[in-house]
Chain A
Amino acid sequence: MPQGDYIELHRKRHGYRLDHFERKRKKEAREVHKRSEYAQKALGIKGKMFAKKRYAEKAQMKKTLAMHEESSTRRKVDDDVHEGAVPAYLLDRENTTRAKVLSNTIKQKRKEKAGKWEVPLPKVRPVAEDEMFKVIRTGKRKTKQWKRMITKATFVGPGFTRKPPKYERFIRPSGLRFSKAHVTHPELKCTFNLEIIGVKKNPNGPMYTSLGVMTKGTVIEVNVSELGLVTPAGKVVWGKYAQVTNDPENDGCINAVLLV
C-alpha cells in the first residue's frame, strides 16, 4: 500500500499526535519567513526562476483583490465630475480636435520629452552656396557659367512669370516649386494642408528670402482661413507664420509648424 495510506491508516486507528495541530499551525506560519529567506538567498538561475514565479503570483493576487474591492461598493460607477464640460447637444459627439487636446495628455507629455514640438527651430545648419546652386553652363561652346539652378524647394506665388530666358540668372525648376505645406498646430496636434502665401525669412540670408527658397528653418506665411481662428477683437485670422521643419528637397513635401 502506498506510504500515504499507511499514515492514514495509523491516524484512523490511533488518532493524531497531541500537539499535531499546534505544530502544523506554527509550521505554516514559519513558511512565510522561509519563503522570504529563500527568495533573498537564492542566487543564479534558481533565483531568477523563483523571482519570475513570485512576480506572477503577486500580479494575480493584486487583480483578485481589486476585483473583490469593486464588488463591495454598491454605489453607481462614474460618479466623478470630469473636466471639459460640454452642453447636452455636444455630449454624444466626438469633437476631434478639442477632444485630442484634453484626453491625450500622455501623448503630449511624450512629445514634449522628445522635444519634437520645440518651436521655433533655434539652430539651423547653414547651407553653403555650392549646395544651394548648381552651375549651368550655357552658350554655344558651353563656356558661359553665369546661370545658376536652385536645388532646393522654392515658392514663387500665383502670378509668377519667368524673366526672359536669356536674362534670367536664377532658374527655379518647376518640379521644386511648392504651393502647399503640411502645417501642424502645436497645441491641437493636427496637421492641415494649407496654402503658402509667401516666404518671410530664410535664415541663410536675405538673397534666399527674396528668391523664395524654403529650407529647414525658413519662416513662411500660410493661409489659415480653414482653421476658423478669430482674434479677441472679433476679426477673422487668415494668415499666420509657420516654420519649416524638414528638408523639402529630400522629402518632396513641406512640413511646417505653426507659430502661435
Chain B
Amino acid sequence: MEVEEEQRETTTNKVMCLLTDPEGTPLGAPVYLPQNAGPQQLQQMVNKLLNNEEKLPYAFYVSDQELLVPLGTYLEKNKVSVEKVLSIIYQPQAVFRIRSVNRCSATIAGHTEAVLSVAFSPDGQHLASGSGDTTVRLWDLNTQTPQFTCTGHRNWVLCIAWSPDGKHLVSGSKAGELQCWDPQTGKPSGNPLMGHKKWITGISWEPVHLNAPCRRFVSASKDGDARIWDISLKKCVICLSGHTLAVTCVKWGGDGVIYTGSQDCTIKVWETTQGKLIKELKGHGHWINSLALSTEYVLRTGAFDHTGKKYSSPEEMKRVALERYNKMKGNGPERLVSGSDDFTMFLWEPFVSKHPKTRMTGHQQLVNHVYFSPDGQWVASASFDKSVKLWNGATGQFIAAFRGHVGPVYQISWSADSRLLLSGSKDSTLKVWDIRTRKLKQDLPGHADEVYAVDWSPDGEKVASGGKDRVLKLWMG
C-alpha cells in the first residue's frame, strides 16, 4: 500500500514555472506546478491571478512554441531540464471566435471592368468596391445585391477608404482626383478634390480617438507627395512633399504621425499639425510596397468592435475608441513593418530609434502586402513567390510559411479574432489559413480570373473579394 502511494507521488513531478506577459513582466513569483497541468489549468490560474471577472481565453507559449499538451509531455518531448525555471508567456486571445468561411454565398455582377479595391465599413454594415470602369459601387449586405453606383471619377478608381466612424467614404482614381461619397445615399458630397498630378496610391483616415467626428485624411500619389485633406473644408490643408519618387503607401498612426513609404527606398515620418518631417527611416534596398502598423486594425475600426454596438455622439465614439486603442497598444511603442521589392521586410519602432529593430528575410520574390493581426501578435506577409509567411509581431522572428497558392499572392486580410488569415492570389483562388495549426483551413476557388482585392468584415461574418473577372463574390461560413 505504502509502496503504491509512493509510486503515485513520484509520477506527478513538479516543475518550477514563471508566467510572464507578452511584454516580459512576470505575473507573480515562480511557482511549482504539477507536470500534468495543461493549458486549461494554466488558463484558470492566470484568470485568478489577474483577478479577471470573466474567464478570458489565453494561449501559452514556451520559447515561441505554443503549449497544447500538459507540461509533462512537453518537457519530455523537448528534454527541458526540470532544474531551471520554465518561463511561460501567456497571450490573451479574442473572446469571440470567428467561423471560417467556406462557401460563396453570392456572386454579384455589376462592374463592367476589373474590381480593383474592396472595403467593408468599420461597423460591417456597408460594402464598397472601386473598379476600372471609373465607378464606386455600394452593395447591400442583407440582400446581397447592388445598392448604389457612384459615378464621377474620370479614370480607374484605385483606392477606397472608409472613415473610422463609418460616415464617409473616399475614393481615389488614376487621374489623381479624390471624391467623397455619402454611404447612405450614394451621392457625392462635394466636388472632386484635385491637387495630385498623378494617380493615387493610398488613402488613410485620421484615427477617431484623435479627432471625432472624422475630418481629415491623407492621400499618397505617384507624383511623390502626400496631401492631408479636410472633408468639411473640402480642400487640401497640408502637402507633405519630400519623397523623390512615387509614394506607394501611407498610414496615419495612432500617435498622430503619418508614415509614408515610397519607391525611393525610404520611409518618412511626418507630424500632422504643420506637416514637418520628423524622421526618415532608411534601410531598404528597393521600392517599399506596403506598410503595416501594430494598431492598424483598431484604428480602422475605431469605436466599433465585435459586439456591434452603435454610438450616438462623436464624443462617446472618441472615448471608446481611445480606450480600445490604449488597450491594444499596451506599454510598448508603436511598431511598423514595411515590405519591399528587395524581398525583405523590416520591423521598426519609429519612436525608439531610426534604425530597424529586425530584418525579416526569407521571401524569394518581392513582398507585396504586409498586415499586422488585429491583436498585434503576428505579422503576415504576402509575396509574389506564391507563399504567405507568418512572423512574430513583437520580435519579427519567422514562425511559419503557408504554401499552397500557385500564383503570386496579392492581398491578405485577417479575421477579427486573429485566428484566421485570408489570402487572394493571381491564380484566382482565395485560401483561409489557420494560425493555430499553421495549415490551410479552407480553399475558396470560384473566381474566373486574378483576385485583386479581399476584405474580411470586422464582425467576422462575411468575406468579400473582387478581381479581374469583374464580379464581386461574397463568402460566408
Contact = CB atoms under 8 A, between A and B. Distances in A.
Interface in A184-215: none
A232 B448 CA distance: 7
A42 interface: no
B446 A81 contact: no
B175 A79 contact: yes
Contact of B156 (A81, A231, A234): A81
A88 B407 contact: no
B448 A87 contact: no
Contacts of B113: 83, 85
Contact of B406 (A81, A88, A230): A230
A89 interface: yes
Looking at chain B's contact residues, is the secondary structure mostly helix, strand, loop, or mixed? loop
Interface in B63-78: none
Contacts, number: 79
Nearest to A235: B445
Interface string A207-226: 00000000000000000010
A230 to B, nearest CB: 5
Contacts of A83: 113, 132
B116 A87 contact: yes
A1 B205 CA distance: 87
A228 B448 contact: no
Q: Count chain A CB atoms within 10 A of each CB in B290, B369, B429 and give the residue with the most.
A: B429
A85 B246 contact: no
Given A230-B445, A232-B445, A233-B445, A85 B114 contact: yes
Contact of B429 (A79, A81, A230): A230
A19 interface: no
Contacts of A234: 429, 443-446
B162 interface: no
A18 interface: no
B117 interface: yes
A86 interface: yes
A89 B410 contact: yes
B143 to A, nearest CB: 26
Contacts of B445: 230-235
A229 to B, nearest CB: 8
Interface of B: 113-114, 116-117, 131-134, 154-156, 158-159, 174-175, 199-202, 222, 246, 248, 263, 289-290, 368-369, 386, 406-407, 410, 426-429, 443-446, 448, 452-453
14 contacts: A81-B134, A81-B156, A83-B132, A88-B116, A88-B199, A89-B290, A91-B201, A228-B407, A228-B426, A230-B406, A230-B428, A230-B429, A233-B445, A234-B445
In order of increasing CB-CB distance, the 4 nearest A-B pairs are A85-B132, A234-B445, A228-B406, A87-B116
Interface of A: 79, 81, 83-92, 225, 228-236
